[in-house]
Amino acid sequence: QVQLQESGPGPVKPSQTLSLTCTVSGGSISSGSYYWSWIRQPAGKGLEWIGHIFSSGSTNYNPSLKSRVTISADTSKNQFSLDLTSVTAADTAVYYCARTAVGTLDYWGQGTLVTVSS
């Protein structure tokens, strides 16, 4: 059973960089079959896809966030990470990591709330 767990340093101040890590167990992120994704959800609102990384290291980002987003992977630790620069209050949300199989998000982490506040 694949499991994903988000982790991060907690609150972030405006203009700083939000950094999160997703640790995957029960499967290897090096497997050529899957993409590994980040999605976020502001409180009481819908889901926004941030981007994903493939086992080859290729990435694809939401154009609305592309200038501020980097997704990377550490295969030795079976982890992938999200960096979002120059954050504002609008980036406050629950951030989820998920496995993507042929476009569908079939396994999700429990989510982590990131608050941007001074």
Query: How many angstroms separate the CA atoms of 6 and 45, rounded?
Result: 20
Task: Return the residues of window 1-40 that contact other proteins according to CB under 8 A.
Answer: none
User: Is 103 an interacting residue with respect to other proteins (CB under 8 A)?
Assistant: yes
Among 25, 47, 75, 77, binds other proteins (CB under 8 A): 47
Query: How many angstroms separate the CA atoms of 95 and 49, rounded?
Result: 10
Cβ closest to other proteins, residue 12 vs residue 50: 50
**x/- letters, 49..68, toward other proteins (CB under 8 A):** x-x--------xxxxx----
Cβ closest to other proteins, residue 52 vs residue 81: 52
Q: Smallest distance, Å, CB 118 to other proteins?
A: 27
Query: How many angstroms separate the CA atoms of 32 and 64, rounded?
Result: 27
Q: Are 6 and 25 in contact (CB under 8 A)?
A: no
96 membership: H or E segment, kind and range: strand 93-101
Query: How many angstroms separate the CA atoms of 94 and 74, rounded?
Result: 23
Residues at the interface with other proteins (CB under 8 A): 46-49, 51, 60-64, 96, 98, 102-106, 108-111
